[in-house]
Amino acid sequence: MTESVLVVPGDGIGREVVPAAVEVLEAVVDLEFHEADAGDRVKRETGEALPAETYRRASEADATLFGAAGETAADVVLPLREAVGSFANVRPARAYPGVDALRPETDLVFVRENTEGVYAGIESEVADGVTTLTRVVTDEASRRIAEFGFDYAADNGYDDVTVAHKANVMRTTDGRFLDGVAAVAEERGADYEPALMDSLATDLVMRPGEHGVVICPNLAGDVLSDLAAGLVGGLGLLPSANVGAEGGLFEPVHGSAPDIAGEGVANPAATVLSAAMLLEHLGEASAAARVRTAVEGVLADGPRTPDLGGDASTAAVTEAILARL
């Protein structure tokens, strides 16, 4: 049976890079595409950033390819991740030959817990001028992300597993997180290095080659993966997969980039590489490898978009990727 992919371009450059990634997918496999709306634009028109229909279709699709949402990002991405049953956000940050990277030895994969932490959405204004945020950390989710992270490292040939935390300050919540990770590591006889997330930020910049898979609580994974984008040449290169259950949501790490939206110069690589992760999720490993090889070839030889020092358009880079397939 042909697998169904829901396509949600969203806002800003999402509307430019998602169609590029769909063209690439169409060139390598037979999939059934459906399109749905989400984001600022649809909120202006209907009052809702994530229409119930989009949520339902994401929960039913075999995979969803998402672009970006602007101001409404939290109202769109968090429920969409929930719709597909995801608990793990996988964000590879690799340097590519030909791309000017601060740290060419970088080959990191952030495995970020996706359902709780400070992104659980429990915020309140308890008195005039006084606000609070509740951080949720459960044993179940901590063990689940640890299992996923150790499996990912073993399946993908990474020897180093680092676990980011701040248990010296957030003793109860990150203490719980670390206990969950330690229990899973002991059950499996797996090695890992716990690292305070602030000093880890320095270490990732100074010595990225000493890290491989980095298992993170939600906020730390968000921040550290953007930091790693800076090591490899920018946000235009980082794909991501929200997985864990049967469905999956695949999206670039970058947002809607309002500063360049509409100019036709967004780098499509992050979204095309997210589409490659989608193919892998659907069991199309060889098609995924073809897409990655094509993207790597274009990154090495050009054409390149302005974020990578070139002057090519999104369309020209997409054409070059298609030509290599």
Residue 95 backbone dihedrals phi, psi, to 5 degrees: -85, 145
| Of residues 142 and 313, the one with the C-beta less far from ligand ATP | 313
Q: Quote the CA–CA distance of 120 and 1 in Å, as a whole number.
A: 36
Q: Of these, 65, 68, 118, 215, which contacts ligand ATP (CB under 6 A)?
A: 68
Please, where are the H alpha helices in the chain?
Answer: 14-28, 40-46, 52-60, 73-83, 139-155, 173-188, 197-206, 218-232, 269-281, 285-301, 314-324
Torsion 101-102-105-106 (CA) sign:
negative
Q: Show the tokens assigned to 30.
A: 């037979």
Q: Does 21 bind ligand ATP (CB under 6 A)?
A: no
Residue 222 DSSP label = H
Catalytic position from the list 158, 166, 174, 307: 166
Residue 198 falls in the annotated catalytic set:
yes
Residue 43 falls in the annotated catalytic set:
no
Catalytic position from the list 100, 139, 191, 198: 198
How would DSSP label each residue in 255-299? ---TTTTTSS----HHHHHHHHHHHHHTT-HHHHHHHHHHHHHHH
Q: Does 31 bind ligand ATP (CB under 6 A)?
A: no
Q: By the 8 A CB rule, do 309 and 292 touch? A: no
Q: Does 41 bind ligand ATP (CB under 6 A)?
A: no
For residues 7, 263, 277, 162, the Cα torsion angle rounded to the nearest 10 degrees is: -130
**Which amino acid belongs to residue 275?**
A
Q: Does 39 bind ligand ATP (CB under 6 A)?
A: no
Q: Does 307 bind ligand ATP (CB under 6 A)?
A: yes
Q: Does 114 bind ligand ATP (CB under 6 A)?
A: no
Q: Does 72 bind ligand ATP (CB under 6 A)?
A: no
Q: Of these, 6, 36, 257, 312, which contacts ligand ATP (CB under 6 A)?
A: 257
Q: Does 243 bind ligand ATP (CB under 6 A)?
A: no
Q: Does 256 bind ligand ATP (CB under 6 A)?
A: yes
Burial of residue 59 (number of CB atoms within 10 Å: 0-12, 13-18, 19+)? middle
CB of 37 to ligand ATP, least distance (A): 16
Q: Of these, 70, 149, 239, 244, which contacts ligand ATP (CB under 6 A)?
A: 70
| Of residues 217 and 236, the one with the C-beta less far from ligand ATP | 236
Minimal CB distance residue for ligand ATP: 255
Q: Does 321 bind ligand ATP (CB under 6 A)?
A: no
Would strands 249-252 and 239-243 be described as parallel, antiparallel, or unpaired?
A: antiparallel
Q: Which residues pair with 194 in a beta bridge?
A: 163
Alpha-carbon distance values, 308 to 101, 125, 237, 265, 311 (Å):
10, 43, 9, 11, 9
Q: Does 266 bind ligand ATP (CB under 6 A)?
A: yes
Q: Does 19 bind ligand ATP (CB under 6 A)?
A: no
**Which amino acid belongs to residue 95?**
A
CB of 261 to ligand ATP, least distance (A): 8
Residue 166 falls in the annotated catalytic set:
yes
Q: Within positions 167 to 226, which residues make up the interface with ligand ATP, using CB under 6 A?
A: none
CB of 251 to ligand ATP, least distance (A): 11
**Could you list the residues that contact ligand ATP (CB under 6 A)?**
13, 17, 68, 70, 73, 235-236, 254-260, 266-267, 270, 305, 307
**Residues with catalytic annotation?**
119, 166, 198, 222, 226
